[in-house]
Structure 1
Amino acid sequence: MAFSPITHLRHFDIAVPDYQKQIDFYKNHWGLTVMEDDGGVTYFAAEGSPEQYSVRVRKSDEKRLDLVSFGAADRTAVDQLASDLIAKGVQLVGEPDDVKTLGGGYGFRFFDLEGRTIEVSADVATRKHRKVEEREDIPVKLSHVVLNSPEPEKMRAWYEQHLGFRLSDTLNHPQTGDLFYFMRCNAQHHSMAIARGPHASLQHASFELRGIDEYMRGSGRLMRAGFRKIWGPGRHRAGDNTFTYFIDPNGNTMEYTTELDAVDEDTWHPSIFDVREPETSDQWGTGGEMDEFITKEMFNDPDKGLYVAPPV
C-alpha cells in the first residue's frame, strides 16, 4: 500500500471460560493493573505504558481471541485506511466512528484474511503512567502478539499489502519452509509475528519488562508461584530479545521479554535464520531445546471467534 497507517500495537483482547482465574493471574501474578472491571469484562494496563489498557479479558463460555488493536496517527489515517480496505474487498465490522471502549477515540474494526477481528484507532485518551523502577519486576508495556496461521505466507502478504507492515526477519527450516515471519509497524523489530500452525489462533502475547534483572526476577517469581513454564529463560536470535514463556489459566501462552531490537528503516535488511541451528531459538543455550511439546503448546486451541465480531 502507498502508506502505512499503523503506528503501534495498543492491546489484545481475549475471551475465556475461567474468567476469575484469568483475572487473578494478570492482577496478582503477571503484574498488570486493573483499570475497569464490571464483573464480566476487565481492562488491564501495564504500569509503564500510556495506553489505557494492554489486555482486556471477557467472560465467555468459549475461549477466543476477541481482537488485536493497533494505533493510527490521526482520524484522517483511520478514514483513509477504511476507504482502502473497502476498495480491496475487506469486510468491515463497522464504519469509522467513536470508540465505545475504555479511553474512547475514533476507529473501526474489520476482519483480517483469516477472520480475526482487528481494530485500528486514533485519538484514544492516554492514561497516567509512571516509570517502572529498578528491580520492579512488572511489565512496562505490551511488546508484541504472535498469530498462528495454516497459511503464513498469505497472512504475511495480506498484512504487508493492507496494513503496511514490513518484514524484519524470517525463521526457516529447509525441508518445511518458512515457519515464522517477524513483522514491524514502527522501529521495534516486531509488534506482530505470524507463525506456521495447524489452525488460526493466538500463539502468544509478550510483555516487556524494564531490563534483564527485572525480567529474570519476574520469570523467577512466576516459576516460584507454580505457573507452568514451557520455555526459557533464554535469548532469541531474531529480535535479540529475551524470553520466558508461561501457560496462563486458560491455556494461552504468555511471555516475559526485554531488550527487543530497534530497527533502522534506512539500513535494515531482513535475515533468514535456520531453526536447525540451536542459537536461532536461544543464543544463551539456557532455555532448553525448542521441541515438539513446546510447539504444540503454542499452537493453542483453534480460535472460535473467526468472522464473528466480539460483543464488546
Structure 2
Amino acid sequence: MNHLLTHLRHVDLAVPDYDRQLDFYSGVWGLTKVTEDSGISFLAAEGSPEQYVVRLRKADEKRLDLVSYGVASPQDVDTLAERLLAGGVQLISQPGTVDTPGGGYGFRFFDVDGRTIEVSADVEVRQHRKIEEKESIPVKLSHVVLNSPDLNKTREWYETHLGFRLSDTLWHPRMGEAMHFMRISSQHHSMAIAQGPHTALHHVSFEMRGIDEYMRGTGRLLRAGVRKLWGPGRHTAGDNTFTYFLDPHGNTVEYTTELETLDEDTWHPHVYDFSEDGVADQWGTANPMNELIAKESFNDVDRGVFVAPPV
C-alpha cells in the first residue's frame, strides 16, 4: 500500500484542572503557549515547524481528545478518507478546512479502539528556531504510546488502514507481547502500542537537543518537584534515552533524545525480552521497572472512546 502518513503533528488532551495543566506545559515542561481562547490552548515546541504539539482543553472529564498526523498533500487527505471509508472505518468528519492554528485541510475518524485520529495537509509552518546548546526545552514532539486491551488487533488496524510498519516488539515471559513499536518513516517509532487493561494514553514523548540538554531538563523537573516515574536511562528498542514524569493530571510524559533512525530497506523487527537486564535500560541507571510504574502507565480509563471531542 502507499504510505501516506508523514509525521506526528500533535496530541490533544482534555482535563478538568485546566489552569494547572497549562501552567505545567507552558512552564517547567518548556513548551510555548501560542494562543488561548476560552478554555482551550495551543502549545508549540520552539524547535518544531508544527503550529502546536499539544492542545489542552478544559473539560469535566480527563480524556485523550485526539492524535494528529500529517500527510503530504490535500490529494493524500482525500485518498486516505476514501480508503478508510471503503475499509469500513467510521469517519467523524469529511475532508475540509481545519479550523485550528495554521489551518490546513483534513478530517477526523475513530481508530479500532475508539480514539479520535486527525489527518491533515497544507498546515502553515510555524516560525521556529534552532535550539541552542544547553537549552533544555523540547525541540519537537517525538512519539506517542497508546494502551490497548488487544495490542495485536490495534497493530493490525494501524498497519492495514494507515500504513504503519512494525519496527520492534517487547516481550515478557509472563505477559507475552507487551509493546509494538510502529513507524511511518525512518524514525524507529512515531507510535507504540502497549498491552493494557483498557484503552488509554500511555505516554507522550518530547525530543530534546542532545544528551546534555536531556539531562538538564530531567534535572530541572526534579528540582521543581515534578514526580519522576522512571529514568534516566536508555532503552534498547529505539536506542533512545528516557525519563518519564507525571503531568498534573497523571498523564505520563517523557523527555528523550537520539531515537534511532532505520534503513527501511534492510531493517528486520526484533523481539526483545524486557525481563533481561539491559533491555529496558541499557545503562542500568534508571530505577527498576516495577508494577507501580506499569500501573501509572496504564493511566485512567479514557472516557473519550468513540466520543468525538467537541472541538
TM-score computed with the length of structure 1 as normaliser: 0.99
Aligned AA for 2:260? Answer: D
Residue number in structure 2 paired with 1:37: 36
Residue 240 in structure 1 maps to residue 239 in structure 2:
yes
Q: Deviations over 1:201-225 (max 9, x none)?
A: 0000000000000000000000000
Aligned AA for 2:4? Answer: P
Question: Equivalences for 1:128-143 in 2 at 5 Å?
Answer: 128-143=127-142
Task: Tell me how large the CA RMSD over aligned residues is.
Answer: 0.6
Question: Equivalences for 1:104-183 in 2 at 5 Å?
Answer: 104-183=103-182
Q: Deviations over 1:59-108 (max 9, x none)?
A: 00100000000000101111010001001110000110010111110000
Aligned AA for 2:61? Answer: E
Question: Equivalences for 1:213-292 in 2 at 5 Å?
Answer: 213-292=212-291
Q: How far off its partner does 1:278 sit?
A: 2.1
- Aligned-residue sequence identity (percent) comes to 67
SS at 2:279 equivalent:
helix
Q: Deviations over 1:109-130 (max 9, x none)?
A: 0000010000000000000000
SS at 1:280 equivalent:
coil
Residue number in structure 1 paired with 2:83: 84
Query: Within 1, Cα distance between the matches of 2:13 and 2:26?
Result: 15
Asked whether the 8 Å contact 1:278–1:289 carries over to 2, the reply is: no
Residue 69 in structure 1 maps to residue 68 in structure 2:
yes
Query: Within 2, Cα distance between the matches of 1:84 and 1:221?
Result: 46
What runs of 5+ residues in structure 2 fail to find an aligned partner? none
SS at 1:69 equivalent:
strand
SS at 1:34 equivalent:
strand
Q: How far off its partner does 1:174 sit?
A: 2.9
Residue number in structure 1 paired with 2:293: 294
Aligned AA for 1:257? Answer: T
Aligned AA for 2:210? Answer: G
Asked whether the 8 Å contact 1:46–1:141 carries over to 2, the reply is: yes
Asked whether the 8 Å contact 1:243–1:257 carries over to 2, the reply is: yes
What runs of 5+ residues in structure 1 fail to find an aligned partner? none
Query: Within 1, Cα distance between the matches of 2:38 and 2:212?
Result: 35
Asked whether the 8 Å contact 1:171–1:178 carries over to 2, the reply is: yes
Asked whether the 8 Å contact 1:48–1:130 carries over to 2, the reply is: yes
SS at 1:195 equivalent:
strand
Q: Deviations over 1:289-309 (max 9, x none)?
A: 110000000000010001111
SS at 1:30 equivalent:
coil
Number of corresponding residues: 311
Query: Within 2, Cα distance between the matches of 1:106 and 1:276?
Result: 45
Query: Within 2, Cα distance between the matches of 1:173 and 1:53?
Result: 36
